[in-house]
Amino acid sequence: FALSDVREDSGPMKFVEGSHRWGHLEGSDFYSQDLTLADLKLPEENPKEVSAILKPGGMSLHHCLTLHASSQNVSNEPRRSFAIHLRTEKSALRKDREGSLGNFVEDLSVCPVIYG
């Protein structure tokens, strides 16, 4: 959710179009700070990147397997936003992620159950 204007120069979230259909990619890591598309073994050449340009109050939504990252904010204005993670009973936690957000999913004070 954008709390301020998100423009191309303010480091918008970027998504690789259709990447959610590729499944889990070797070498992709949510916690890697310096990972680029060139570092990954992609099933497609020259994938299309799409920027989430948003007005305050706007939001973007993506599948958990979608390759995404934010770029550097080179504007003079701060980029303010927040994220909400949602999951269904069909999702599975990755037990190999010691110290990840997955450790909090069972804690209802952090991750409450939301009904329709």
Give first-to-last CA distance, the chain, whole Å: 20
14-68: pLDDT as tens digits: 998 988 888 877 766 655 566 666 667 777 788 898 999 999 999 999 988 888 8
Where do the domains of the chain lie?
1-85
Cα 85 vs. chain centroid, distance in angstroms? 9
- Give CA angle at 73 (28, 68), nearest 5°: 25
This prediction's pTM: 0.69
Alpha carbon distance 76, 16 (integer Å): 27
Give dist(CA 46, CA 17) in Å, integer.
Answer: 11
Backbone angles phi, psi at 102, to 5 degrees: -60, -25
Identify the pLDDT of residue 54. 96
**Residue 95: which pLDDT band, with cuts at 50, 70 and 90?**
low
